[in-house]
Amino acid sequence: MKNYPPFFRAVWRECARIPSGEVRTYGWIARRIGKPGAARAVGRALAANPFAPLIPCHRVVASDGSLGGYSGPGGVAAKRRMLSREARLKIKMA
């Protein structure tokens, strides 16, 4: 992971902390890592995420609650399915 820019690593660490079944915004992550106003850069960092199984970038949405983008296989439709599946699992586990 040390071959990646420090900003990317900070974004990925914060994203990895998002609990299953929950979402955060790109702006929220930017503020958490001390870079308010860097929401678009957060999106670029997540698009470059090489650790998708460990860093759940699908849990990050736009500030208006829309899904935003998703560069993984299946695009935004896949992101929607993953979030829906996590929400159902969380309800069952509660």
Establish whether 57 is a catalytic residue.
yes
Q: Which amino acid is at 73?
A: P
Q: What is the pLDDT of residues 66-92, one digit of tens each?
A: 998 888 889 999 999 999 999 888 776
Residue 64, exposed/middle/buried by CB under 10 A (0-12, 13-18, 19+)?
Answer: exposed
Contact residues for 54 (Cβ-Cβ < 8 A; gap 6+): 16
Whether the predicted model's global pTM rises above the 0.85 cut: yes
Q: 6-93 in CATH: which number? A: 1.10.10.10
- Partners of residue 25 on adjacent β-strands: 61
SS3 65: coil
Annotated domain spans of the chain: 6-93
Q: Which of 57, 60, 61, 83 is catalytic?
A: 57
pLDDT in tens, 17-63: 999 889 999 999 999 999 999 999 999 999 999 998 789 999 999 99
